[in-house]
Chains A and B, each alone.
Chain A
Amino acid sequence: QKEVEQNSGPLSVPEGAIASLNCTYSDRGSQSFFWYRQYSGKSPELIMSIYSNGDKEDGRFTAQLNKASQYVSLLIRDSQPSDSATYLCADETGFQKLVFGTGTRLLVSP
């Protein structure tokens, strides 16, 4: 059974700082990872996908994957109060099915 672990937080950062969110996974053979953002009372929204070791940047977001250490991270630069949400890390188990971590709650203070 694949597992994805995340620190539940909350992670508190001041506005303008870099928020760093981390996730570890159990299956060394996993290939595809996803970061979702979920505002309270809303459904998850896909932020980024990453499949290769290294960094992938999209605007203020950078996803990092290290398969040797089995961790995935998401960096949010110039954090804004509107980034305050729960961030979910997901691992694809095969046949496009996803296993989610419990999520990290991010609080960005003005």
Chain B
Amino acid sequence: SAVISQKPSRDICQRGTSLTIQCQVDSQVTMMFWYRQQPGQSLTLIATANQGSEATYESGFVIDKFPISRPNLTFSTLTVSNMSPEDSSIYLCSVAYRDSPRWNEQFFGPGTRLTVL
């Protein structure tokens, strides 16, 4: 499986600011996703990061709040904009390889723990 890194690993931010989270994979992957895991909760998919085009957002998540970029097959960013304490969460990227025998298995990065004051 791929080696996935995320930066930053954690951050404490002030209300009203924005934070950009980076996800880097050591090999080319077909699919990249962004999830949120709120304290004590399970994972919720925010969006699919599409290479070279706009991300596909899930219900309840909008581009103005969570802009996503994916300039190539190994890198994506998620920005949490105009943050409020309700955005305090762990943000995780995941990857999948469409062309592999285990094509629909997803592997997660280490996560970014965000606290908004």
Note all chain A residues with C-beta closer than 8 A to B107. Answer: 46
Known A43-B110, A100-B44, A102-B41; further 18 A-B contacts with Cβ < 8 A: A32-B104, A42-B110, A42-B111, A43-B90, A44-B43, A44-B92, A44-B108, A46-B106, A46-B107, A49-B102, A49-B104, A92-B104, A96-B31, A96-B103, A98-B106, A100-B42, A100-B43, A102-B42
Question: In the complex the two chains form, what is the Cα distance from A44 to B102 in whole Å?
Answer: 17
Provide the main secondary structure of the chain B interface: loop
- Measured CB to CB, the closest approach of chain A to B111, in angstroms, equals 5
B77 at the interface (CB under 8 A from A): no
> Chain B: how many interface residues by the 8 Å CB criterion?
24
A57 at the interface (CB under 8 A from B): no
Question: Could you jot down 30 A-B contacts, CB within 8 Å?
Answer: A32-B104, A42-B110, A42-B111, A44-B92, A44-B108, A46-B1, A46-B106, A46-B107, A88-B42, A88-B43, A92-B104, A95-B48, A96-B33, A96-B96, A96-B103, A96-B104, A96-B106, A97-B33, A97-B45, A97-B48, A97-B58, A98-B33, A98-B43, A98-B45, A98-B106, A100-B42, A100-B43, A101-B42, A102-B42, A103-B42
